[in-house]
Amino acid sequence: MDEIRERFERLKRQLKRKFNKNKKPKNRAKNRNRKHPNSEQRKKQLKSRERSELAKEAARDKLRPKEALDRKNAPTNKKRKKKKITKEEFERRKKKKRKENIVEIVKFMLPVVLFAVFVFFFILNTSPHMVDGDSMSPTLLNKDRVIVRRTKEPKRYEIITFKPPVKSDFQYVKRIIGMPGDLVWTEGSDLFINHQAESLPKVSELSAANELPDGTIKVNVSEDCLDQMSQLKKIPKGHYFVLGDNRNNSSDSRAFGLVDGQAIEGVVSFRFAPFDNIGWIK
């Protein structure tokens, strides 16, 4: 049986070889028939194009410098080895990046700051002022820097800066307590200010605190202030009575009397230094 199988396999192989030999020339004939009749012309055209391109390339190479040709002909390494970065190099690059970021921030913020300064000092007609002393603590502390609005009309309880009617190298910062038109009267060394009453209380009621009109403020004043205020029934137009928030450590209207409106620089509106206490002033 094995011999018969072997013979059968040999016959199969022989038949396949004969079949393949007979098939090859047919395929070649078919391929020859498929060729376009103008294939020879196309070959000639392609050759002529290749020659013209080579000639152009040669002309370009003549015009290029030798270094460029060497670079062109030099083999390029597609895969470049990454250079290992040391810790020192990494830190140096990090610091450089930080500096660049800071410079960019400064470039961006500088025009904004300049514009804000222009608006504050020219358009809004404001000026900076430094607080000297602790007469306005805890609202304002020594060395605080504030913005003063010079065009704003002062109102009751607002903080103002002004040139005091006494000899001083600095402008004072105080809070307005008495406005023009407020009723005023004195009793001993005490001054009474009221902005709600329409007329002065009776003489018999002056000493009784429980009989005083609503909104009356009682202040102990100096002799100079008492001489000035005892002659008045109302605070004159364009004059203000001012006090410091720190009453125990403040030289104000209790000592020198009323403040002329023309001596007022402006109203304190904003504190810009120190930076941890920036904000609007009330």
Catalytic residues: 135, 174
Q: What is the DSSP string of 133-189?
A: SSTTTTTS-TT-EEEEESSSPP-TT-EEEE--SS--SS-EEEEEEE-TT-EEEEETT
| 217-248 CB burial, b ≥16 within 10 A, e <16 | bebebeeebbebbeeeeebeeebbbbbbbeee
- Residue 161 in contact with residue 268, Cβ under 8 Å? yes
Contact 112, 230 (CB under 8 A): no
CA distance 140 to 165: 22
d(CA 150, CA 51): 88
